[in-house]
Structures are given as structure tokens and as C-alpha cells.
A and B are shown apart, each in its own frame.
Chain A
Amino acid sequence: MRYVDEFRDRAKADILVKEIERLLARMKRDESRPLQIMEVCGGHTHSIFRYGVEGMLPKSIELVHGPGCPVCVLPMGRVDDCVAIAERPEVIFTTFGDAMRVPGSRKSLLQAKADGCDVRMVYSPMDALALARKNPAREVVFFGIGFETTMPSTALTVLQAEREGIKNFSIFCNHITIVPTIKAILDSPDLRLDGFLGPGHVSMVIGDAPYEFIACYYKKPMVIAGFEPLDILQSIWMLLRQIDEGRCEIENQYARVAPAGGNAVALQAVAQVYELREFFEWRGLGSIDHSGVKVRDAYAGFDAERKFAVPNARIADPKSCQCGEVLKGVIKPWQCKVFGGACTPETPLGALMVSSEGACAAYYQYGGIKRGRDDEASAA
């Protein structure tokens, strides 16, 4: 396939791996621990496991799988709110596929569907709006979830609904924003990261300027990375080159898709429809100030939270889960007390075991657990 296979070229991968090894060999660094690079985005995590990228890298590089899976970081209380809305007989509740399995304190949307709720999987919020047009006697609610990647499409759908005067459509807004989240990770006292692979899809919308503080104030380099395995290898190589040359910048490997200034139309729609929430709760990370958005008063009629007065209960994460420590790279997924035992993709306890983009689920499914444990055994 054109524009895909070019980015999965094995010969080019071998060249990049050799370059990475060469850079590492000459680099001045603390040899007692591996270089820790966090890929912020869940899409990166998925690709890394899907193509076995981690296993191709020297062991002195450790990839830390960050908080960028919006499905994984959704707190239990918000899922309970979804289920409460979906349980209303007048509601058709629409959602992206992988959000169906996220456990709430009572049940997931998949279980709610099995219990008779009208929960439907859609591929875009516009599909949900089409359902609202087709079912004027029902209330169609779209589960707005995701970072800046999906935020504009939900906003544009609200604006479209307003233009058409559609009254039976609303969104349950759980969109989150990446910058405060990276800041929360950087502020963590147990942080060990040496650099970041920046989120490509998010950057397509917001550009590269919002990340400048990472290089300027926290002195950590970042390379905005694409999602194909060659993109990831090249971005790691670019990051190492910065470290080797003593530079600390925000570089863009994914310029073919993510323009420096972002996407003005998308940003305008986002600014028009949403405003920042004071606080937003994350699974595994607790509350992060200004990390979520809500629907502005001007569009209150499209806000399911106001339309259906959701319970909005805060449910604490299970105590046994160590998602927060995994997210910050303090421990690897298989080192969590409940990994693979009480917490599996079938019965996820923690956030990171939910979606295939979550670090723990990816380790479980794509065999990272085996590699990790083998590495530990051989080190001992």
C-alpha cells in the first residue's frame, strides 16, 4: 500500500537501529540506568507493540508508555455517568468502539448494551448526528472522548447540529487536553524521563508551539512523531541526537501531517464550543487542573451533562492498581502487583489494561510481559 509500506521498510529500519546504536555508544550518559523515553500517545504505544519496535532497540533505551490513551485514563465515575445516561429509555447512546469496554463501578457500556440499553458504536460524531436526524423522537447522545485529535470533530458536529436546529442531539463531553497532562508528569517528584516522543495527531491540531515550555522550563527534549514504525525509530534517533549534541528543543518528525502552526479551522471550532474545566479527574493520575474541557454556556442545549443531570460521582481507583507509577515510568507494567492476575484485558482493574493502546493491555497482548520478565531474569 502506498504511503504505508514506505514507512515499514525493514532495510531502512536496520539502518536506523544501527545509527541509534552508534549514537548511544559515543554518547556521554549515566550508564547505570537506561535512557527513558516516553511516547505520550497511545497510538505510538500500539505501533511499538504491533511491530515489535521495542525489541529491536538496544536495551539501554527504555520506552515508557505515557498517558495518551484517552480511553484508558477515563475515570470510573465518568463511565458510571455514561451508563446512567444510556439507561434512560429515551436515549440512544453512541460511542467509539473501544470506549465500550471501559469498566465503571457498576458496569461498562458493553454490559449496559447487553442489559438492554440502546448503545450503538459509531465511527464519527457526524454518524451520531445522522442518527439524531433519523430518530427525532429519541435523544441521541455522543460520548465525546479523546484529546485534541478528536475534540474538533465533536465541536464541528455541535456547530452543525446548531445550524440545522437539531434539538435531540447532545454530547457527553470528556475531551481532555494534552499539555497540562505532560506538565503534571513533568512535575512529578519521581520523574526519571530523558525525553518525549510528542503526539502526532494532537500536534496536527495544536501545532508545536504549546510544547515549548517542556524544552525551555523542564529542559527535556521532544520530537513530535508519526505513527508508523519507521516514524518512531527516526524520532528516537532524532531525540538521541539532541541529547548527544546537548540540545533541548521541540522538533517535528511528523511535518508531513502536523504543520508547525496547527490547524486554524479546528482550533477555531474548539475555542468556540469548549472552555477549560477547572479540574478533571484522570484514572491513575488523579485530578489535573485545566486538563479537561466542557461545553460553553452558549451551547448548553448540546451538553448531555446538563440535559440529563448526571450523578457525577467520584469513584476512587482500586487501591491495588499502580497505573500512576506505570504512566510515569517508575515501574514497568509487569511489575504492578495485580498485572496479569486480578487485572487482565478481560477484567481490567486499572486504566492501562482497558484499551489495546493502554500500556498494560499492550504488554499483555503483544508479549511485552515475556520480554520484560526475561530481561529481568537475565539481569539477575
Chain B
Amino acid sequence: MNMVSIPPRRARGKVHVPTVTLAHGGGGKAMKDLIDDVFVSAFDNPLLSPLDDSARMDLLDLAQYGDRLAFTTDSFVVDPLVFPGGDIGRLAVCGTVNDLAVGGALPLYLSCAVIIEEGVSIDFLRQIARSMAATAQEAGVKIVTGDTKVVNKGACDQMFITTTGVGVAAAGVELGAHRARLGDAVLVNGLLGDHGAAILGARGDMALQSPIESDCAPLQGLIASLLNAAPNTRFMRDPTRGGVATVLNEIAEAAQIAIDIDEAVTPLRDEVRGFCEILGLDPLYLANEGKIVAIVPPDEAEPALEAMRAHPLGRQAAIIGNVVAGESGRVTMRTIFGGRRIVDMLVGEQLPRIC
């Protein structure tokens, strides 16, 4: 990969206090030390190291991957910051990488803006930065620019992270909900609702000990395999907040189509089912962080399924339904019991039922 000229490496600063203070956001030496010690050392790469105001990437270098730049941003505010199967850092990388990948782009570069509440421990910050670095490596992306702000105690919930991502979409890959057609298959790459259930369990509000781990994972590899096996894939989206039900409704509405799914073949972990039974929640609305919903033409559905199942992040992939003739914008489900119901958009937040 061709790179811009790299200035000589400068001496790295070091933090000598246990917690973040307002001085670490003041723009002076304390801030430089924090950025060097925590972020630059974790994200270590030649585009970031000069700590210029912007990272500059060679256009010719980007052009080898495709013909359009893909660009996305997302903010991450999660409680708790560390949960079974991940943490806010892993989430911040996966979320943005997946937003690029479901658009058919190869994710390449990320920015990372962190807002930290004073009092957060430096060791914890290091742990999150290391987690981001490891996830970025797993996803094949580089974190090349960033920003650090420190706010007063109480002004934020320990830490917020915003990541912006740049990727390149390969020539000929055109994805859009409007391309969905009657008979197309609806695929997911595995067990649904793990992230939502893991977070709810980890919060401890429900007095339920849950063994469920978040599915948080970067999906660019799985998506590349899928597109290779099913090049005419119509559309993909990652069903994060609002879950699969919300994404299916968005697709149905955008494409003015009807979608029918089958509860009996919708992949769910028994623990997630049990968790939802106890709390009166619907797993279709639980968040996922390592899943995609793909709309695939009927003749490519089986190859797509095989490609997903051959990938470690798609072992439990399934065709959960189809685009059907029906009222446009409507999502329905054949229930496990043989009935049928409408799967609508969620109103507000899912709240546990009283009994």
C-alpha cells in the first residue's frame, strides 16, 4: 500500500496518574500524554502517529478496491461499558465496520472520538483502547485519526465513543431495499437477540443471571463471502437497535413490498427465548451486533446460505422468510403455533411486562 511520507517517530508521552482529570482534556501536556499513552500506543499505525489534524490517504490506493467511497458514522453509548462478549470499544469498531460492509463496501479506515467523564481510571481507558485496536485488526481496518474530550463528573456516563468509517464499494455492487422482488429470500446469519439479552442481563436491573454473550463481531469477511456466492444480493442491513423486526419493517416500507417470516425456522438461542419468556419481551426486537439481514434472489438463496454457514460467524444462518404478495410495507409471521400475526415497528422501548 502506498503511503504518504512518514515523519520521524517522536517521543511518546506517558500518564502517571490513576484517573482521568479535566487536565487531560485541556489541550496541554497532560492531554498529549494521555493520547500518546492510551490511544496512539494501542492503535499504532503510520497514518495516525504524526497526530496531524487529519489523516491523509492516497486516492490511487483506495481506488484499487472499487469505484465509490463509502462513509459512515455512529456514536456508542452503552450501559454497562463492559458486558459478556464485548465492551464499548469493540462495539464502536464493529458497529461502524458493519455499517460499511452491509453497504457492500470494504471497510478500511476509522476515526475514533472519545468523550470521557473525569474520574474514569486510566487502566480502564487502556483496556477499552486495546479492545478497539484488537477488533480493528480483526476487521482489517486502521484507526487513523481521533479526538479526545474530557467532561465534568456527571456530564456523561463514563465514556461515549463516536467512530466514523471510510470504505470503498467495489464496482458493480449495487445494494438497495428498492431492488427487492417477489419471491426473494430473507436470510439471517445466525442466532438473534444475543446482544440485547446480554446487555439487559449485564445491567442487573432484572435480577436475572444470564449466561448469554453478546454477538458483537465485525462482519466484513462474512459479507464478502456472501456477495461472492450471491452476487445479485439485493440488500443487506445489520439489525442493531430495534432488532430484526424493525429492519424488516424498514425494508418492507422502503421497497413497498410484503415480507412473511416463519417463527419455526427463525434461529434463537434457548437462553434468549427463556430470557424473553420471563421478561415478556419479544426477541425479534432485541438488538444484535454481529448479524445481518440479507434479501437475496430466489436462485441465489441456497448458495448464499451455504456461504454463510461455511463462515465462523454464520454457522446458524437460516432462510427465515420471503418477499410475498401482500399489503406493501407489511411484515407478517407464521407463528410456531400455526397462527399468523403482524410484526410491526416497535413503539418506544420494549418494557418488561408486569405478569
Contacts and interface: CB of A to CB of B under 8 A. Distances in A.
B342 interface: yes
B207 A127 contact: yes
Interface in A90-149: 96-101, 110, 120-124, 127, 145-146, 149
Contact of B354 (A8, A10, A150, A344): A150
Given A55-B340, A127-B207, A50 B335 contact: yes
Contacts of B208: 123
Interface stretch (A249-257, A297-305, A308-316, A364-372): A364-372
A380 interface: no
B274 A43 contact: no
Given A50-B335, A121-B205, A123-B206, A366 B351 contact: no
B247 to A, nearest CB: 17
A49 interface: yes
Contacts of B352: 96-98, 121, 123
A2 B206 CA distance: 23
B332 A367 contact: yes
A10 B338 contact: yes
B271 to A, nearest CB: 10
B52 interface: no
Contact of B355 (A49, A52, A146, A345): A146
B339 interface: yes
A133 B22 CA distance: 34
A181 interface: no
A55 B274 contact: no
Contacts of A150: 354-355
A interface SS class = helix
Given A146-B354, A356-B353, A344 B339 contact: no
B353 A46 contact: yes
Given A122-B205, A201-B355, A10 B344 contact: no
A98 B351 contact: yes
A51 B339 contact: yes
A56 B351 contact: no
A355 B327 CA distance: 26
Contacts of A80: none
A71 interface: yes
A357 interface: yes
A119 to B, nearest CB: 12
Interface in B268-315: 270, 273-274, 277, 279-280, 282
Interface string B122-140: 0000000000000000000
A70 interface: yes
Q: How large is the interface on B (under 10, 10 to 19, 20 to 34, 35 or more residues)?
A: 20 to 34
Nearest to B339: A52
Given A123-B206, A124-B207, A53 B339 contact: yes
A346 interface: yes
A345 B351 CA distance: 13
Contacts of A101: 348, 351
A203 B336 CA distance: 28
A97 B327 CA distance: 33
Contacts of A201: 355
Contacts of A123: 205-208, 279, 352
A346 B282 CA distance: 18
Contact of A71 (B342, B347, B354): B354
Contacts of B347: 344-346, 365
A13 interface: yes
Contact of B351 (A13, A49, A97, A149): A97
A4 B335 CA distance: 15
A229 interface: yes
Contacts of A145: 354
A289 interface: no
Contacts of B332: 367
A377 interface: no
Contacts of A146: 354-355
A25 interface: no
A14 interface: yes
A55 B334 CA distance: 11
A96 B354 contact: yes
Contacts of B9: none
Contacts of A54: 339
A1 interface: yes
B37 to A, nearest CB: 36
B337 A10 contact: yes
Contacts of A364: 344
A14 B339 CA distance: 10
B354 A52 contact: no
A370 B354 contact: no
Interface in B314-355: 327, 330, 332, 335-342, 344, 347-348, 351-355
B353 A357 contact: yes
A97 B336 contact: no
Nearest to A57: B339
Contact of A14 (B280, B338, B341): B338
B279 to A, nearest CB: 8
A367 B337 contact: no
Contacts of A346: 347-348
Contacts of B330: 370
Residue in B208, B335, B355 with the greatest tally of chain A CB atoms within 10 Å: B355
Interface of A: 1, 4, 8, 10, 13-14, 42-43, 46, 49-56, 70-71, 96-101, 110, 120-124, 127, 145-146, 149-150, 201, 229-230, 344-346, 355-357, 364-367, 370
24 contacts: A1-B273, A4-B277, A8-B337, A13-B338, A50-B282, A50-B341, A51-B335, A51-B339, A52-B341, A55-B339, A55-B341, A56-B338, A70-B354, A96-B352, A98-B351, A98-B353, A98-B354, A101-B348, A101-B351, A149-B355, A229-B339, A344-B347, A364-B344, A367-B341
- List 6 A-B pairs, minimum CB-CB distance, nearest first: A52-B339, A367-B342, A97-B351, A97-B352, A345-B347, A51-B337
